[in-house]
Each structure stands twice: as structure tokens, then as C-alpha cells.
Structure 1
């Protein structure tokens, strides 16, 4: 995987030793990741992004390719050919009053990762708020699956409706408890939980990990 970790690290005047210490590893491992000799996991990317105070999207860059080195079939793939994932609004990352409305239609589109091109029930949301940092940063896009069953410990988006004619709301967190009476989500910054009464819950959707989006 081509990445911009070294460039960002140098711009922040941070040594490989310091970055390694910040994420619980050593300079040798950081060097291998920066040079593309070691593929980092999704959780490792999240740690690096947090240590460098950037989003994961900023760490990952598309490889530079020249038209001479690309087969004609690959050259023919344009943006219009790439399947799109709809961005359906924002998911609350705030601990208090943590509800944001899911829009009736897309507010934006993003390219579908190759690993999800044949998947159904995929949509994206913008994270609004700080309480899921460093896992998810404010303004970051997350990709969500309607059909992959979430487990306790997974990052999820809970959709809820508080009134019969009310808007569809969304909250993001780590699933701690799920039963007929309530859903409890854990927040990270600061550490805390929110409880959503089960009678309001419409759906619980799994957030797809970055390692899966990258095909690793």
C-alpha cells in the first residue's frame, strides 16, 4: 500500500522512533510501513493517524502511474465507470445530544472500493463530533453495511426514530449491549456510554473496517 506517512511525519518533525513509541512499536516497523514493505492493519492505521493528528484518508494515497505503464484496459476506467456509494448525511460523534438526521437522499457520493463493488446495502456517512476520536475523526467519511451482522465490540451506526412521523436519526459508537430493551454504545473521547431505548431503534449497521476497505 502506497502511503504518505513518511511525508506527514517529516512535516511534523517527528522521528520514526517517536512515532513508533506513540503507537507501541519501534522505528524499524515504522520504516517498513512507510516504505510499503509491511501492510498495516486497520487498527494500526488508526493509531498512526491519531499520533500524527490527521485522518486515515490523508495517510493513504493512490499510486502514481504513467500512461505508458498502464494497460489500455486500465486506462479506460474513468471516474464515471467507478460504482458510487451514496453519502446519506452525518452520524453523531458527540456524547451528549448525539443524534443527527439521515437525509432522504444522498448529500454526496464517493467511489466504491474494489473490495465492495459487488456488495449490497452499502452507504457512507460523515462523522460529526469528536467523541469517537481517535478511531473516527470529525468530518471523516465512514462506510457502513446494512447487511453485515454487527457484534459486540464492533463500531456501528444505530438508526432510530423517536416519533412515528419524526426524522431518521443516527449515532455512531462501539456496540456494548444489545437486547430488546436497549442498545448501549461506547464513546472514546471522553470515555462514556449512551443508551438508546430499544423501542426507538430501527436498525444497527456495522461500520466496515479500513483494513477490509483496503482488501487486507
Structure 2
């Protein structure tokens, strides 16, 4: 139903992704049924498709909103809405962000965060407007199957993290020691320690809080 409505509005998958604030592959998976259409997704998509969230979830073929959208004035407003959002982000689409990392990671996938830039990539829409956004190249398979070796993780350094979020953490074990970066799953942090979860092999990593330089939220990951 998403594809049918999108095509009626003459929107590409990329257009809809921009309007919703996600990636084109996510829209493709939602249309193919590879990703479940949850209530949250329906609420995000429905304003840009001209239907109620319930109609999008349950596919009511008699929903008049769907039928009258193309010729109606309301349809013109719907068309203007994603167009306006796309225009708002056009500048961000042309912005490049640095990619940090190294070809080979340590035992737990850690790598030196010494400020050296591997290369630059185009910022995805989700972080194109965020000052200080950056990306890191995943080293090793310590977080497989969530992240694969060589993937690019896109980072929002301003977003608050919570339990279950995927993060990049910068650790300095010694006062003048190297700055190490870890891509892991956030468990908790208090005045004593930071606890992270690793998948492969499964284990918890613990760092004294006074060694933690930063904990930044990973928005999404994929190939460059």
C-alpha cells in the first residue's frame, strides 16, 4: 500500500525517505514487507502519503482519502509538504562529513581515534543539519551481525543516549595515552563506570568513568 500511495503522489523512494527522515533502503524494505510497518512508522509515513495511520496499517481499500488524493486540493497540499521538506534539506545533502577509523581494529574492535581522516562521505539526511556530525569505519566483527567489518557508522554527537542504543565511545586509559574508540551497545553509565555490550564474542566491557572522553549516538550504518 505504501508503494501504491507513493507512486500516486509521484514520489520516489528517495523523496519519501527524505520527507520522513530515513533512508531509501528503509522505505524499500517497508514496501517489500521486509520491515514490519509499526504504528510509529505508520504515523511517520501517513502525513506524506495523504492517509490516516490506521488506513496505512490496515489497508482499507474503501478509504476515501486515498481515492480523492490525486485530484483534490488536499492532494496538492500533500505534494507541497514533502517538496518543502526536501528543499529544506537540499543544502545538507551537499555536505560532506569526515570518516575516522583504521583498517584493522584491536581484539575488541577498538581503533585509534587520533583525528586522522580516512576520507569524506556525503552526510545522510538524518544528520545533514547537525553541527559536528561525523562517521567512523567499523573495524573487525566484534559487533556482527549488527555491524560488519568495513561498514560506515554515521554519528550524531549531540543526541542523548539511552540503554540499548548503539554508540561510539572514546576512551583514554592513561593521562597521555592514545584515544581509543569502541563501537558497542550502550548498557549504562554512572559516576563509577561505563558498561557496554559486545556481540562477537558476547561479553560486557567496563571502563572507569574518569577514562570516558565521549559517548556518541550512532544514527545508522551502511556502505559509503
Which band: TM-score by shorter chain?
Answer: 0.5 to 0.7
From 35, 45, 51, the counterpart of 1:40: 35
CA distance, structure 1, for counterparts of residue 217 and residue 104 of structure 2: 15
CA RMSD of aligned residues (A): 3.2
Unpaired runs of 5+ residues, structure 1, are 3-31, 42-73, 75-80, 212-216
CA distance, structure 2, for counterparts of residue 35 and residue 156 of structure 1: 25
Q: Does 1:140 align with 2:151?
A: yes
Alignment of 1:62-211 (within 5 A): 82-90=94-102, 96-209=107-220
Question: Residues 35, 148 of structure 1: CA spacing in aligned structure 2 closer, same or farther, 3 A cutoff?
Answer: closer
CA distance, structure 1, for counterparts of residue 194 and residue 162 of structure 2: 12
Question: Residues 82, 189 of structure 1: CA spacing in aligned structure 2 closer, same or farther, 3 A cutoff?
Answer: same
Q: CA deviation at 1:92?
A: 8.6
Unpaired runs of 5+ residues, structure 2, are 1-12, 15-26, 37-85, 87-92
CA distance, structure 2, for counterparts of residue 209 and residue 139 of structure 1: 14
Q: CA deviation at 1:99?
A: 2.8
TM-score normalised to structure 1 length: 0.57
**Is this contact kept in 2: 1:92–1:100, CA < 8 A?**
yes
TM-score normalised to structure 2 length: 0.56
What per-residue deviation string (whole Å, max 9, x for no partner) do you get for residues 75-108 of structure 1? xxxxxx82101002249976x4543111323211
Higher relative contact order (CA 8 A, sep 6+): 1
- Secondary structure of 1:209 counterpart: strand
